[in-house]
Amino acid sequence: MIVVTGAAGFIGSCMVGFLNQNNYKDIILVDDFFKVSKVKNIENKAYTAKIQRNDFFDWIKENEKFIQIIIHLGARTDTTEFNVEIFNELNLEYTKKVWSNCIQYGIPLIYASSAATYGMGEYGFDDNHNIINNLKPLNPYGNSKNNFDKWALSQKRTPYYWAGLKFFNVYGPNEYHKGRMASVVYHAFNQINETKKVALFKSHNPDYKDGEQKRDFIYIKDLVEVIHFLMNLRKYSGIYNLGTGKASTFNDLVRALFKAMKLKENIQYIDTPVDIRDKYQYFTEAKMNKLTEIGYSKQFLNIQYGITDYVKYLTKSLYI
């Protein structure tokens, strides 16, 4: 059986959907199932059992012989939350317990890290283990992810196979419940749908024109493909970037939306709020050679294709 934590969330539920589409049915869903806002994400999914997050470690003791792999995607992901204790509990200490159980019972582990660990990108966006101790995340969420990465690399005992994945800007179906933390694609779609126009931040950096700030946007369907690849490979443990390796501008993104929605472009530029202006990232782009060097050869979807596909889900309220 395959265990997916955070299974009712955006990425976790898409992972379960992808597994179902590839004939995996013996799946254990782990999450806080008292949160009803995400229930649509697991409707019509095939799975063996749902386990409450707080009961997970007791369940492992009783079922460890049947577990083939743990895909640990559950986390507190709110970058506007500044209560460090919440991140220490849910992102750091909980993941340490998952790691320890994987060692104890001989279970391979794939876990979600984040590109938020890179901060302002002072050291670039290279998944070289040597720079991880130097990274300076911009918020407690990024710190919690980086603190676990540092801890994992310092351990003498590890799961026999493990991979930490630094997710870049992920977008796609099943993210409707995330509120402010949903992708810019989701928010821009809703703006355009309601007003037939979209607002983007002006550039306050002379090296970039308005709307030409760049991010590495990765479609959820690419992300789960990579996890599936690593799930089957189970070699070359370590921390890997998971973006496309090709940054796109916000202008590119919203133009792709207008095109997919068959609407005339109407982009307005507004001032970046002063309170976030000094921490605003103008460029992120994953270096992806480490993943390709271990054999991942599938081409990542370009932003126009990804957004066109996503719009089909949004307009019909479909879920993966």
Position 281: which residue type? Answer: Q
**How many Cα atoms are found within 13 Å in the side-chain-facing hemisphere of 39?**
5
Distances from the Cα of 278 to the Cα of 140, 253, 282, 313, angstroms = 17, 23, 11, 35
Q: Phi-psi category of 272—alpha, beta or left, where left has phi over 0 and alpha has psi -120 to 50? A: beta
Q: How far apart are CA 287 and CA 33, in angstroms?
A: 36
Q: Is 178 assigned a catalytic role? A: yes
Selecting among 178, 197, 246, 259, the annotated active-site residue is 178
Selecting among 141, 171, 186, 310, the annotated active-site residue is 141
Residue tagged 């919440």 (tokens): 86
Nearest to 230 by CA among 72, 41, 6, 61: 72
Q: What DSSP line would sit under 257-286, residue for residue?
A: HHHHTT----EEEEPPPHHHHTT--SB---
The secondary element (H helix, E strand) that includes residue 144 is helix 140-154
Q: What DSSP line would sit under 13-82, residue for residue?
A: HHHHHHHHHTT---EEEEE-TT-GGGGGGGTT---SEEEEGGGHHHHHHHHGGG--EEEE------TT--
Q: Which two tokens stand for residue 301?
A: 């979807």
Q: Is 319 assigned a catalytic role? A: no
Identify the three-state secondary structure at position 244.
coil
| Residue 132: how many other CB atoms lie within 10 Å | 20
Residues annotated as catalytic (active site), given as ranges:
141, 178
